[in-house]
Structure 1
Amino acid sequence: MTGSKKFDVIIIGGSYAGLSSAMALGRSMRDVLVIDSGLPCNRQTPHSHNFITHDGAKPSEITEQAKAQVLKYDTVRFLDGLAVRGTQNEEGFEITVKTGEIFRSEKLIFATGISDTMPDIKGFSDCWGISVIHCPYCHGYEFRDQNTAIMSNGEKAFHITSLVNNLTNKITILTRGTAEFTPEQTAKLNKHNIQVIEDEITEIEHENGHVKNVIFKDGKKMSFDAVYSPLPFRQHSDIPVSLGCELTEQGYIKVDHFQKTTAKGVFACGDNSAMMRSVSYAVASGGIAGSMANKELTDEQF
């Protein structure tokens, strides 16, 4: 990359949240570098939903359109690369990318997302984001009235089931072990004729990511059209923690209402800092992070 390597703000992550931050800063004539490794968590998802004006669009199309619009602002630059290290000094921050290049800025915005931890079930990752899904708001309408599994247990399973029950009455909970429901929860599940199966799962049969059958350890098969499965996750980047950003008990980067982290001069937005995994939320939180980073710069320089 040629040219200046000192910027007002470096944004790590160039998907919805990062690009939204970049637009807010570009429109304020801030020198911005967006660093992105090109691996969004929804790269297998065929269609994005519940984002007004883009309902049903391919996620990659939304990103491409957003990137083209953001790069029309002359002070915004984009780097295809992976940020591997971050340090802070008296003048601000230094970010090192995998090639060894070092870039400097006064403020940092992390829009790095999270990395889902897939279970050791054959076919699961092939279906992730296509018919093995995480969110009724993002995907539920497309699987309405269809045969649906909830692959989870306890409070999480009960919560998702209660939401999905409004979309279909063909629900089976797959706990993959001893069910962990309270007597009150069990009574509600029985009231809605929701079966709970505790058997271990070994495979998801599918065609190009579209679920056909769930196969259990004893060889039994059950046919489903969709499987909801909330997954554990880790932060996609460890740089925020290395700079002093605290995490919540759930593992998200701790931010305030203005997307400020607990590290001075550092902001976070999108999936890495909230459980609302949606394009619309990422765009909104990214816009706030960009605006507040600009405000901090303004307060310090004016």
Structure 2
Amino acid sequence: MIDKSKYDVIIIGGSYSGLSAAMSLGRSLRHVLVIDSGLPCNRQTPHSHNFITQDGEKPEIISAKAKLQVEYYDTVEFYQGLAISADKTDNGFEVKTESGKVFNSKKLLFATGVKDLLPEIPGFAECWGISVIHCPYCHGYEVKKEKTAILANGDMGFEYAKLISNWTKDLRLITNGKSTLTLEQTQILKKHNIEIIEDEIDSVEHENGIVQNIIFKNESKRSVKAIYFRAPFQQHCTLPEFLGCELTDQGLLKVDTFMKTTIPGIFASGDCHIQARSVAMAVSSGSLAGAMINKELIDLEFV
């Protein structure tokens, strides 16, 4: 009889990457527990794009369909809850949940994503993932040729403006204070008719998350259809750091080409380690992580 408190792998995070890894491991006949708190970072986004076969689908429908398919594999189990602690043991890892449940596994996969840190501008958070967007590959086609703003400054603002100009020429860069662009960058943007606005933002007017106007502290306003913003972030889950996993300079979990973190037995997939965030990237990294974990388990068995 299988001890249901002990698994080959515990996956913390049951969104796209965690589910993808669970499918890979389930098909490898591994006993897997997926612990998920049910708070994916794109839960406010109405549609997912640039993911073949699912383009334009609602994110929750994609994840629900994925979970249903993963549940087909009877060696994969799910636990709805929050993992609050994790410790290294002689035989692997012990994970404790908020409800007091304790589970053990040989390997541990973090597919926990990141938490976006949004500016404290009234109306901004309500529009995040809807009309305040981060990725033109995910959302740019839907606002192509529309009146668009970019909230950024300096080198990031310059490179972001160059990128977004592929989707629309009706573009303005809002530095939200004094510009830190170089003279050369400023001249190049002006040459391409990209307006630079240094006024500070007061609020974002919107209707159900659809931006209408950007209101500035000098009481002027600009009508736009979309705002691009690359949010700073922090790890959604601090357990990897507690266990000693290193972060990159960007604050992402450091992994090698086999999805291994810097701590033996611990792997990572999805947004918690990928700078290019998208559903497709998360699914891909989860599938790879599952295969690499299975390979490591096989190697341990052949000693």
Q: 2:78 maps to what in 1?
A: 78
Q: 1:138 maps to what in 2?
A: 138
The Cα of 1:184 is off from its aligned counterpart by 2.4
The residue identity in structure 1 corresponding to 2:46 is P
The Cα of 1:197 is off from its aligned counterpart by 0.7
Secondary structure of the structure 2 residue equivalent to 1:264:
coil
Q: 1:104 maps to what in 2?
A: 104
The residue identity in structure 1 corresponding to 2:44 is Q
Secondary structure of the structure 2 residue equivalent to 1:78:
strand
Measure the CA separation in 2 of the matches of 1:172 and 1:253.
34
The residue identity in structure 1 corresponding to 2:32 is V
Q: 1:155 maps to what in 2?
A: 155
Measure the CA separation in 2 of the matches of 1:208 and 1:38.
23
The residue identity in structure 2 corresponding to 1:38 is G
The Cα of 1:55 is off from its aligned counterpart by 0.4
Q: 1:245 maps to what in 2?
A: 245
Between Structure 1 and Structure 2, how many residues are aligned?
301
Q: 1:189 maps to what in 2?
A: 189
Measure the CA separation in 2 of the matches of 1:254 and 1:161.
29
Secondary structure of the structure 1 residue equivalent to 2:60:
helix
The residue identity in structure 2 corresponding to 1:75 is T
Secondary structure of the structure 1 residue equivalent to 2:262:
coil
The residue identity in structure 2 corresponding to 1:205 is E
The Cα of 1:183 is off from its aligned counterpart by 2.4
Deviations, residues 136-172 of structure 1 (Å, cap 9, x unaligned): 1000000001000001111221222111101111001
Measure the CA separation in 2 of the matches of 1:258 and 1:157.
33
Measure the CA separation in 2 of the matches of 1:244 and 1:143.
42
Secondary structure of the structure 2 residue equivalent to 1:7:
strand
Measure the CA separation in 1 of the matches of 2:160 and 2:88.
41
Secondary structure of the structure 2 residue equivalent to 1:86:
strand
Equivalent residue runs for 1:138-287 within 5 Å: 138-287=138-287
Deviations, residues 210-267 of structure 1 (Å, cap 9, x unaligned): 0000001111111000000111110000000111100001100001111110000000
Secondary structure of the structure 2 residue equivalent to 1:296:
helix
The residue identity in structure 1 corresponding to 2:116 is D
The residue identity in structure 1 corresponding to 2:23 is M
The TM-score with structure 1 as length reference comes to 0.98
Measure the CA separation in 1 of the matches of 2:191 and 2:248.
36
RMSD of aligned alpha carbons: 1.0
Give structure 2 stretches of 5+ with no counterpart: none
Q: 1:89 maps to what in 2?
A: 89
**Over 2 Å off, 4+ runs:** none
Q: 1:67 maps to what in 2?
A: 67
Measure the CA separation in 1 of the matches of 2:126 and 2:154.
26
The residue identity in structure 2 corresponding to 1:97 is T
Deviations, residues 93-118 of structure 1 (Å, cap 9, x unaligned): 00111001110000000000000011
Q: Which stretch of structure 1 is more off in the superposition, 107-116 or 3-12?
A: 3-12
Secondary structure of the structure 2 residue equivalent to 1:85:
strand
Measure the CA separation in 2 of the matches of 1:255 and 1:182.
35
The residue identity in structure 2 corresponding to 1:280 is A
